[in-house]
């Protein structure tokens, strides 16, 4: 019961000072009202009774105290002299402190009476009775979510083609993120396609996938002469072709490595591929120690990002349009566009300015396709040689004005390098210069629904290890504390070292809890609320990759993640993630609900986790025991099988909830 002194569970109360000085203390509430006698001995006896009584008895005791006060007043009226002033003041202060303390305790526990019982979730084989459930845990009614209709099998809430007509077509803004309002959210389970099978495992998946898992024939029919993929029987095969890869993607990357020697020695580690196709370029680079974020917009026919993730290659839905990409400044070592059809010289070169922002000083921008090698290619581009020469000259002029310089060029590939020379950026201060330097009010790393700006984000060259030339080579950079850690509020190099040690210890324990970790059953992994990327770093030798997510409301640690040679993105988990359904084998979170459950309902986050998790995939959730039961109850409604485990520290108040998503098929197809 509630440990308060005749105090109802109310948010407000008032203290009557005149009465406090005269009699001790007066408390007023809407349910009961009590006053405490000014005798210390009498008060000590009554407070003992009140604390040991149940709620009804406490109210009666309060009434009794109130009656004693009335008697005290009557005695005063009959001629009895009041206590000395100093004693009254002292006792009054004591009453105020004690009653205030009791009200504080009551406030902590007052909500307990409204709890709803919940079936306890425990370890396998745990026989504890329901009565032993932690009384401090959130309790919630069981819930069951219906199946979505089969036409939502590839539903992407924030990039839904069915809602495109609501938004403008200028600069393809309709293809950017536009999330539905709360009242329009789908509270149902996304079904897999009819005939869906467990994905082919890495590394075999890089070359083939099940047709029924991604049943899109458009690329196979429209790009058959370019060998993006081909359909044979029940499978799609990926021969490594592409518009600019007539001899295969490996030959294309071999030429690129000859132009950029840093791709061979660990200098170049992170890359972004804008307009990725089926991500063959990013897939080939994995064997060369380069981790690529393949980027493409949601479309009606091609499903480029879905093919990439089905193959086990990192990818995310996105488009350079009117908003910044969800990445910090000075992050990628290399950016690539292979006939990606982005109009680089239009709109004042604003798309190039975004590439400049996310590319670290000394990083490379690689372009193949129009207008590169226009002298030999213009006839196949349905244009004239003069038009292509004009486009190339405009491109070169814009790049020079942004402090890019030509690095190398051969055949169909041209490479520019972003300058790390401070003198070049000082020239941007000239009044007639375009583009201008961004002012101090422009936050370089702000990238969540942040509009593109027609200005150059100048890198902070005070960080000695920011430029590509000075960053430690891979894999050494994974374990060195980046300079930019000091930009994170409250963070120091010592925090980085502690975090790294903590995650090594945790992963050792996690492997005992999840036996498939490290096997070919886990390929696409997401750390839903990383700090420095410690979870991903501790799994670096496993045959998997990790998408590190930093909350748009959390301290900005994503630059540290990229400086370590890992990849990630900003995101708000009150919204849908920029990916297709069924794209991740393992979702990991560490205190996500503890830190952000106040911002939106937990069911929306868990429904989104279910959407992006592959059937038979795992959710590995480390949370305070306060949240575990509620998460597990909602998870049952998602058709997940869950069990609770202890952390590596048995005295820790956190628990680990491990859930596996079941494979089920829509009844609408039967």
Mean per-residue pLDDT of the chain? 84
DSSP letter (8 states) at residue 429? G
* DSSP string for residues in 184-248: G---SBPPPPTT--PPPPTTGGGTEEEGGGS---HHHHHSGGGTS-EEETTEEE--S--TT-TT-
Q: Is the dihedral of CA 534, 535, 541, 547 positive or negative?
A: negative
Q: Once rounded to an integer, what is the mean pLDDT over residues 610-633?
A: 96
Distance set, CA 140 to CA 117, 595, 657 (Å): 7, 19, 17
Q: Residue 603: CA atoms inside 13 Å, Cβ hemisphere, count?
A: 17
pLDDT-based confidence at 228, cuts 50/70/90? confident
Q: Where in the chain is the domain with CATH 3.40.50.150?
A: 245-456, 475-669
Q: Are strands 654-661 and 584-590 parallel, antiparallel or unpaired?
A: unpaired
Write out pLDDT tens, residues 237-274. 999 877 788 889 999 999 999 999 999 999 999 999 99
Name the β-bridge partners of 548.
527, 568
Q: Report the DSSP pairing between strands 640-646 and 613-624.
A: unpaired
Contact 312, 292 (CB under 8 A): no
| Partners of 189 in beta bridges | 147
Q: Most distant CA pair in the chain: distance in Å?
A: 116
The highest-confidence range among 92-96, 110-114, 421-425, by mean pLDDT, is 421-425
Paired tokens of 214: 């991604």
Query: Is the per-residue pLDDT at 126 higher than 50?
Result: no
Q: How many angstroms separate the CA atoms of 484 and 101, rounded?
A: 45
* 647 Cα distance to chain centroid: 23
21 has a pLDDT exceeding 70: no
CA–CA dist 621, 623 (Å, integer):
6
Angle at CA of residue 299, ends 294 and 305, nearest 5°: 25
Query: Looking at residue 226, what is its pLDDT?
Result: 64
Tell me which of 18-27, 164-173, 612-621 is least confident.
Answer: 18-27
**Contact (Cβ atoms closer than 8 angstroms) between residue 157 and residue 186:** yes
Strand 14-15 to strand 25-28: parallel, antiparallel, or no bridges (unpaired)? antiparallel
Specify the CATH class of 245-456 in words.
Answer: alpha beta
For residue range 168-194, what is the model confidence (pLDDT) as tens digits?
A: 999 999 999 999 999 999 999 999 999
- Kindly indicate the confidence band of residue 91, based on its pLDDT and cuts at 50, 70 and 90: low
pLDDT at 145 > cutoff 90: yes
Question: Looking at residue 95, what is its pLDDT?
Answer: 64
Of 17 and 433, the structure prediction assigns the larger pLDDT to 433
pLDDT for 393 equals 97
The pLDDT of residue 241? 78
Q: How confident is the model at residue 588 (pLDDT cuts 50, 70, 90)?
A: very high
Neighbouring residues of 41: CB distance < 8 A, sequence distance ≥ 6: none
Residue 27 has pLDDT above 70, yes or no: no
**pLDDT at residue 505 is higher than 80:** yes
DSSP conformation letters of 8-22: -S-S--EE-HHHHHH
pLDDT band at 70 (very low <50, low <70, confident <90, very high): very low
pTM, to two decimals: 0.81
Please check whether residue 217 is in contact with residue 230, taking contact to mean a CB–CB distance below 8 angstroms: no
Question: Whose structure tokens read 């060029």?
Answer: 409
Residue 102: the pLDDT is 56
Rounded Cα distance between 342 and 496, Å, is 39
pLDDT of residue 47: 41
* Residue position matching structure tokens 């406490």: 58
Q: What is the CATH number of domain 475-669?
A: 3.40.50.150
What is the structure's pLDDT at 224?
A: 59
**293 pairs with which residues across the strands?**
272
Structure tokens, 31: 């349910």
- Report the pLDDT value the prediction gives residue 223, as an integer from 0 to 100: 62
d(CA 152, CA 668): 12
Which token pair is 286?
Answer: 């994995």
């Amino acid at each position: 019961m509630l440990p308060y002194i005749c105090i109802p569970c109310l948010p407000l109360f008032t203290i009557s000072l005149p009465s406090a000085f005269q009699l001790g203390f007066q408390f007023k509430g809407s349910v009961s009202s009590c006053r405490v006698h000014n005798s210390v001995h009498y008060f000590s006896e009554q407070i003992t009774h009140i604390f040991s009584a149940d709620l009804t008895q406490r109210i009666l005791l309060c009434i009794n105290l109130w009656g004693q006060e009335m008697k005290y007043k009557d005695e005063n009226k009959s001629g009895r002299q009041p206590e000395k002033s100093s004693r009254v003041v002292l006792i009054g202060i004591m009453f105020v402190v004690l009653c205030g303390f009791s009200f504080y305790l009551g406030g902590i526990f007052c909500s307990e009476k409204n709890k709803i019982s919940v079936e306890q979730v425990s370890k396998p084989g745990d026989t504890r009775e329901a009565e032993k459930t932690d009384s401090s845990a959130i309790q919630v009614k069981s819930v069951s979510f219906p199946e979505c209709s089969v036409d939502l099998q590839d539903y992407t809430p924030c990039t839904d083609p069915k809602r495109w007509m609501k938004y403008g077509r200028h600069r393809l803004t309709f293809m950017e993120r536009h999330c539905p309002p709360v009242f329009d959210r789908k509270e149902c389970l996304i079904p897999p396609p009819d005939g869906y099978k467990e994905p082919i495992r890495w590394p075999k998946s890089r070359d083939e996938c099940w047709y029924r898992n991604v049943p899109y024939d458009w690329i196979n029919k429209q790009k058959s002469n370019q060998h993006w993929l081909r359909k044979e029987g029940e499978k799609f095969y990926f021969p490594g072709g592409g518009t600019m890869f007539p001899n295969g993607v490996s030959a294309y990357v071999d030429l690129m490595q000859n132009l950029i020697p840093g791709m061979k020695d660990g200098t170049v580690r992170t890359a972004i591929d804008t307009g990725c196709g089926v991500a063959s370029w990013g897939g080939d680079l994995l064997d060369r120690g380069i981790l690529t974020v393949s980027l493409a917009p949601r479309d009606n026919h091609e499903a480029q990002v879905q093919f990439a993730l089905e193959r086990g290659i990192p990818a995310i839905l996105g488009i350079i349009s009117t908003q910044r990409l969800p990445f910090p400044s000075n992050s990628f070592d290399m950016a690539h566009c292979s006939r990606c059809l982005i109009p680089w010289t239009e709109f004042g070169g604003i798309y190039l300015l975004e590439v400049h922002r996310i590319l670290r000083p000394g990083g490379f921008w690689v372009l193949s396709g129009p207008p590169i090698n226009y002298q030999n290619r213009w006839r196949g581009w349905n244009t004239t040689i003069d038009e292509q020469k004009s486009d190339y000259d405009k491109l070169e002029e814009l790049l020079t004005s942004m402090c890019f310089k030509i690095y190398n060029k051969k055949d169909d590939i041209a490479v520019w390098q972003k300058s790390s020379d401070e003198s070049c950026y000082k020239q941007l201060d000239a009044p007639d210069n375009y583009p201008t330097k961004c002012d101090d009010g422009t936050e370089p790393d702000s990238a969540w629904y942040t509009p593109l700006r027609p200005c150059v984000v100048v890198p902070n060259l005070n960080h000695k290890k920011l430029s590509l030339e000075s960053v430690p080579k891979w894999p050494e950079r994974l374990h060195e504390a980046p300079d930019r850690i000091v930009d994170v509020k409250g963070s120091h190099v010592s925090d980085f070292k502690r975090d790294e040690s903590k995650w090594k210890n945790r992963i050792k324990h996690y492997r005992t809890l999840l036996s498939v970790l490290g096997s070919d059953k886990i390929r696409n992994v997401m750390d839903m609320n990383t700090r420095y990327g410690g979870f991903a770093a501790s799994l670096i030798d496993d045959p998997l990759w990790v998408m590190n997510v930093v909350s748009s409301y959390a301290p900005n640690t994503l630059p540290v993640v990229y400086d370590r040679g890992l990849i990630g993105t900003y995101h708000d988990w009150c919204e849908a993630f920029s990916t297709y359904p069924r794209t991740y084998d393992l979702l990991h979170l560490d205190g996500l609900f503890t830190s952000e459950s106040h911002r939106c309902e937990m069911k929306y986050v868990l429904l989104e986790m279910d959407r992006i998790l592959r059937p038979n995939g795992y959710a590995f959730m480390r949370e305070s025991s306060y949240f575990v039961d509620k998460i597990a109850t909602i998870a049952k409604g998602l058709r997940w099988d869950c069990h609770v485990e202890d952390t590596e520290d048995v005295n820790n108040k956190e628990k680990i909830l491990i859930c596996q998503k079941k494979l089920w098929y829509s009844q609408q197809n039967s």
